[in-house]
Structure 1
Amino acid sequence: MLCQLSINNFAIVRFLELDFRPGMTSITGETGAGKSIAIDALGLCLGNRADANTVRPGASKTEVSARFSLDDIPLAKRWLEDNDLDLEQECILRRTIGSDGRSRAYINGNPVPLAQLKSLGQLLIGIHGQHAHHAMLKSEHQLTLLDSYANHRLLSDAVAAGYHRCKQLEAELRQLTLSQQERIARKQLLQYQVEELDEFDLKPGEFEEIEQEHKRLANGTELIASCQAGVELLSEGEELNIEQLLNRAVTLAQQLESYDPALANVNAMLNEALIQVQESTSELQHYLSGLELDPEHFAYLEERLSKAMQLARKHQVGAPLLAAHHEQLKAELGSLDDDEHKLAEMAQQVEANRQAYLAHAQKLSQSRGRYAKELDKLVTQSIHQLNMPKGKFCISVTFNPEMMSVNGCDQIEFMVTTNPGQPLQPISKVASGGELSRIGLGIQVITAKKVSTPTLIFDEVDVGISGPTAAVVGRMLRSLGESTQVLCVTHLPQVAGNGHQHMFVNKFNKGGSTETSMTPLDKEQRIQELARLLGGDTITSNTLANARELLQ
């Protein structure tokens, strides 16, 4: 339930703080006073779009906050929990709009995107505007009204999910089908390339090995000469070599250590150096013993290296990457073979999902048919009460499997006849403006009783209604207010008099600027306001008596 609305510097409102109570609240005021201004401000808290023109001239920003009690709104509580927002028994929505047009939204003090504000707002308040009757002429809105009354959300969700799955699979199948000729051409090219690389059969890492061995053999003479020179320098030189010199140094270090143990490290390091020299000599000798210059093997390596580089240039990859490229081409060729099987499998999947979707859509259609009959009776009774005693309302639900959509396969048409003997016809062709208002209002009140939204706003939905019909409308809204909080902006005294409470909107000039106020009325003030609505500027004893009658 909406408990409080605070408005700062919104349009012609400087400041308003309004407390709301359960039941039906009537909102009236003179023409042009801004009766809907609180509704417009509340709309900002529900995520409606806004711009810099919203800000009152001379102010830096507009700020609107709405406080709700969550006692009887389990869906809103669950939404807050799911979105990790502070959950208490109350919920505060706040919106600010700066003079530069920048907007910020908050839920329980937490900054949130505007989409989240709108998502939560739909669970807290339902707004029925004065143009809702005209929207009712559109088939998609008629479908929305029927589904709102039926409240078969699980069926609707299953149909929507099935539809999206069908569209996804159809898109994949279409893509596979459209690219079939491209795949054939690509497959022929890949087969040729893979066969060529299969024949060469370069293994991963082989190019680097060939390149290294080729380099070694190409420099074989220099390797042998350098290794022999190294061995001679290290230990086999007749006149002088490093091993001889180190042996002398080790002997000298041993003598020094015997004189002074502090030189033990020098002796140890020289011994280590001698060992390293001896091991290096052994390694070089072993390498020389295995080093062979094989011209035939060298020619083989040179030919394979040249072929690898040639194929790499042809395939526009680096030679070290040729083996990996070969594997990629084989994998792609395999996937193209798989696509042929996928095409057939996906066609079967598309048909299977289409049948599953149609099964869900058929169940949804049957549910719509059941609730349409129920709604037919209720709306017909309602328009009888609204001074259309011979009127009849009927919802046509036609299932067409060729009309697949996210909402199912149903064509919905609101049908009506307003005079006896006339056949049912689409509401857009039969109903006059006044009749449309009465039918639309009846549907809105009936559907509002079924939905779980705790607060409903009716913004001048009684346009085109007057006299005894207006009194019936008032009683309908009051009856709705017994179980749901109802805010009703109206110009009809018969409707306003049915409110459990009454608020008056007034526009005035103060300090050279225009302001709007909104104040609750006590019983005597309500009588005066109803008398004004009944008689205009001239309030007589008769209009006052009529006003008292309305309140009774």
Structure 2
Amino acid sequence: MLNMLQNLYVKNLALIDETEVEFGEGLNILTGETGAGKSLLLGSVHLALGGKYSPDMLRNGTKSGLVELTFKIEDEQIEKHLEEMNLYPEDGFLTLSRRLMEGRSISKINGETVNTGILKDVASMLIDIHGQRDNQTLLHKKNHLTLLDLYGKEKIVPLKKKMAEMYRRWNELKKRTESLTMDEETRRRELSLAEFEAQEIEEAGLVVGEDEELEELYRKMTESRKVTEAVAETYHYTGEAASGNASDLISRGIRSLQEAADFDEEGSRLYEQLTQLDGLLNDFNRELSEYANSFEFSEEEFRETEDRLNLLNHLKAKYGRSIEAVLAYCDEKKQRLQELADYDTFMQNLEQEQQDAFNAMKKMAEKLSQVRQRSAKKFAEEICGQMKELNFLDSRFEIRISEAEKYSSNGKDEAEFYLSVNPGEPLKPLGSVASGGEISRVMLAVKTVLADEEDTPTLIFDEIDTGISGITAGKVGDRLRLIGKSRQVICITHLPQIAATADHHFLIRKKAEGTSVRTDVEMLDEAASVEELARLLGGANVTERVMESAKELKELAKCER
């Protein structure tokens, strides 16, 4: 598997002193006696993913707790989403941690502190938890359309992209029309202001880049006195002083070295160097003189530069932070002047454009709705088939599409799941008729249908065996194993029929140590797994016959893989 929950580490949480679980690929089953801490272990996962926390969750006598989830990440799509959030797996792993303290908690991803919002966003990409009613996706009507679109994504997603673009276009035109609607007096005031602003900018005769040039010139002007003195003093020493400037002294040196130049090669070489030095100094003096002249400004030039800079800064403060922005603002005002000059025609055109965009959006929404209606029928049929496999023998299931109050980027559809679990009962909204265990099994049916469509790598099921036993439990185990072929599944159960299907079996047990109690997690080998199945079958009295039944149950599950 490209992605999965590799490791869970918990410290100082309720009955858990310190424990670590290394999960594997496929179906991971957790069993244990009532009160051993099975739900507590998965509750710690909720906490790590940003769930509600209170200090009384900490182990007695401790001031802080820690929960860490380490995920194996090898999927390019998930890596891309993480990069968009400036998060990067380290050596293919991403660790989500939450330190729990009295009155507060700190969340981190790969050691960097993040807020709860980011933690939940990342968690939604990596793990999907189903258990308690308030955490189940199926209870929220808004999620039903998402599941339907996932089922029919091949045909629905392209239409949704077009719908989103059309909605965006229509919404922009609608907002613009509303913002530009005005009475005659308002139109006249805006027209007058636009004329004034455009004229003020045009009269300035702005040139891109001139502000930077003028600022440099103005800096030179204001600092010229000090610089001029320094340049003049330098020139005095290098070429102007009547007695002993550098240029004169080098010339004397050249004349003195003439005899050495005629004497041998070394003297000639030194003479040539000195001659070159004299040429360089003359060039330097000429350039220095030109540089000194550049600092000679008249009072009139200074005032003109200062006034121009003040004007440019005034316009930038008023219309934009740069000359380019000011000129762009001027173009906008010119365009607006044309619109205001023939306001009625402009508004009629804009309203027509908005209406055309609405009609196109409406047509696309209707097309999207038709595709959803067809997908809903097929999706419901497949879910119903999977529910029968989960012993909902007389159940009926429907997905009803209705029209939402207003358009959105998702179209104008609402979807809701309807269920009837007993013969003769009318179909009703799923959340109002199904028990917690039934909803978990419906979710299992949905997940089985969507096994090849969803991209969430890890699924966790808690309380999926509530209210079931026997044949139904075996069928639930079969569905979990089927989903486990394409993604990681973690499930807590107390039923041996489900536990027997595990690819990896963990035992959660409570141990007494002096005056305290702690929860431990142990990964079972095949022999230990059979012993745990026997305990689940026979309770406290595990007879030889019960052990044989446990072995048979395990072998039967292995044969069905």
1:361 and 2:374 matched? no
Please provide the CA RMSD for this pair.
3.8
Aligned to 1:466: 469
Per the alignment, residue 392 of structure 1 pairs with 396
Secondary structure, counterpart of 2:30 in structure 1:
strand
Q: Deviations over 1:378-404 (max 9, x none)?
A: 212212222233433332334x48642
Deviation of 1:413 after TM superposition, in Å, equals 3.3
147 and 38 in structure 1: CA distance in 2 versus 1, 3 angstrom threshold: farther
CA contact (8 A) 2:437 2:464 kept: no
Write the distance in 2 (CA, Å) between the matches of 1:433 and 1:123.
25
Count of residues paired in the alignment = 420
Deviations 1:76-96 (A, max 9, x none): 221233344434552222323
Code of the aligned partner of 1:117: L
Paired with 1:347 and 1:49, the residues of 2 have a C-alpha distance of 49
Higher Cα Rg, which structure: 1
Q: 2:65 touches 2:99 (CA, 8 Å); kept in 1?
A: yes
Instruction: Tell me the amino acid that sits aligned with residue 477 of structure 2.
Output: G
In structure 2, do the counterparts of structure 1 residues 32 and 153 end up closer, same or farther at CA, with 3 Å as the change threshold?
farther
Distance 1:428 1:174 in 2: 41
Give the AA of the match of 2:20.
E
Matched, 1:377 2:405: no
Name the SS for the 1:507 alignment partner: strand
1:200-227 Cα shifts (integer Å, max 9, x gaps): xxx999xxxxxxxxxxxxxxxxxxxxxx
On the 8 A contact 1:61/1:96 being kept in 2, the answer is no
- In structure 2, the partner of 1:490 is 493
Pair 345,102 (structure 1): closer, same or farther in 2 beyond 3 Å:
farther
Cα deviation, 1:61-103, whole Å, max 9, x if unaligned, reads 33322222223x2222212333444345522223233424443
2:141 matched to 1:139?
Answer: yes
1:217-269 CA-to-partner distances (Å, cap 9, x unmatched) read: xxxxxxxxxxxxxxxxxxxxxxxxxxxxxxxxxxxxxxxxxxxx99xxxxxxx
Distance (Å, rounded) in 2 between the aligned partners of 1:51 and 1:432: 28
Indicate how the Cα distance of structure 1 residues 350 and 333 shifts in structure 2: closer, same or farther if over 3 A, else same: closer
C-alpha deviation, 1:128, in angstroms: 1.8
Please report how far the alpha carbon of residue 153 of structure 1 lies from its aligned counterpart in structure 2 after TM superposition. 4.4
| Letter aligned with residue 505 of structure 1 | I
Distance 1:34 1:147, change over 3 A: farther
d(CA) in 2 for partners of 1:49, 1:435: 26
CA distance 1:476–1:349, change in 2 (3 Å)? same
Give the letter aligned to residue 121 of structure 1. A
- 1:451/1:390 CA distance change after superposition, 3 Å: same
Tell me the CA shift for residue 361 of structure 1. Answer: 2.6
Counterpart of 1:478 (choices 481, 502, 524) is 481
For residues 58 and 145 of structure 1, the distance between their equivalents in structure 2, rounded to whole angstroms, comes to: 45
Unaligned runs of 5+ in 1: 198-202, 206-260, 263-326
- Secondary structure of the residue aligned to 1:136 is helix
| Residues 119-166 of structure 1, C-alpha deviations (whole Å, 9 max, x = no match) | 222222222223279763553232232223334545445434544554
Residue equivalent to 2:31 = 28
Percent identity reads 36
Contact in 1 for aligned 2:49/2:96 (Cα 8 Å): no
Q: Over residues 490-522 of structure 1, what are the superposed CA-to-partner deviations in whole Å (9 max), with x where a residue is unaligned?
A: 122211121112111123343533322111122
**Does the aligned pair in 2 maintain the 1:63–1:94 contact within 8 Å?**
no
1:437 deviates by 4.7
- In structure 1, the partner of 2:311 is none
The residue that corresponds to 2:95 in the other structure is 93
AA of the residue aligned to 1:76: I
User: Which residue number corresponds to residue 56 of structure 1?
Assistant: 59
Structure 2 CA distance for aligned equivalents of residues 509 and 58 of structure 1? 16
Write out aligned runs for 1:270-281 (5 A).
Answer: none
Distance 1:495 1:336, change over 3 A: same
Q: Secondary structure at the match of 2:407?
A: coil
Note the C-alpha offset of 1:343: 3.6
Structure-2 residue corresponding to 1:250: none
Displacement after TM superposition at 1:473 (Å)? 0.2
Q: Deviations over 1:414-450 (max 9, x none)?
A: 3445566777565467656765554343123322442
Opposite residue 27 of structure 1, the aligned amino acid is L
CA 1:17–1:438: 2 relative to 1, 3 Å? closer
2:41 maps to 1:38:
yes
| Matched residue type, 1:35 | K
Give per-residue Cα distances to partners, 1:261-309, cap 9 Å, x unaligned. Answer: 99xxxxxxxxxxxxxxxxxxxxxxxxxxxxxxxxxxxxxxxxxxxxxxx
1:546 aligned residue (536, 546, 549): 549
Q: Is residue 2:81 matched to residue 1:82? A: no
In structure 2, what is the Cα distance between the partners aligned to 1:119 and 1:194?
A: 46
Aligned: 1:350 with 2:361: no
Structure 2 residue aligned with 1:130:
132
Separation in 2, partners of 1:393, 1:540? 43
Equivalent pair of 1:458/1:488 in contact (CA under 8 Å): yes
d(CA) in 1 for partners of 2:495, 2:35: 15
Of 533-542 and 336-345, the range deviating more from structure 2? 336-345
Contact 1:187–1:333 (8 Å) recurs in 2: no
Task: State how far apart, in whole Å, the 1-side matches of 2:191 and 2:368 are.
Answer: 51
TM-fit CA distance, 1:362: 3.1
In the aligned structure 1, how far is the partner of 2:149 from the partner of 2:124?
A: 16
Matched with 2:6 is: 3
Q: Is the 8 Å Cα contact of residues 437 and 465 (structure 1) preserved in structure 2?
A: no
2:539 to 518, 530, 536: 536
Letter in 1 for 2:66: E
AA partner of residue 130 (structure 1): Q
Mapped to 1, the partners of 2:95 and 2:158 lie a distance apart of: 29
* Long gaps (5+) in structure 2: 197-201, 205-241, 244-329, 556-561
* 1:460 Cα deviation after fit: 1.6
Q: For the residues of structure 2 that align with 1:435 and 1:112, how far apart are their CA atoms?
A: 37
Task: Give, in whole Å, the separation in 2 of the partners of 1:360 and 1:168.
Answer: 17
Contact 2:386 2:448 in 1 (8 A): no
Shift of 1:189: 6.6
Q: Secondary structure at the match of 1:393?
A: strand
| Structure 2: distance between partners of 1:52 and 1:433 | 28
| Partner secondary structure for residue 36 of structure 1 | helix
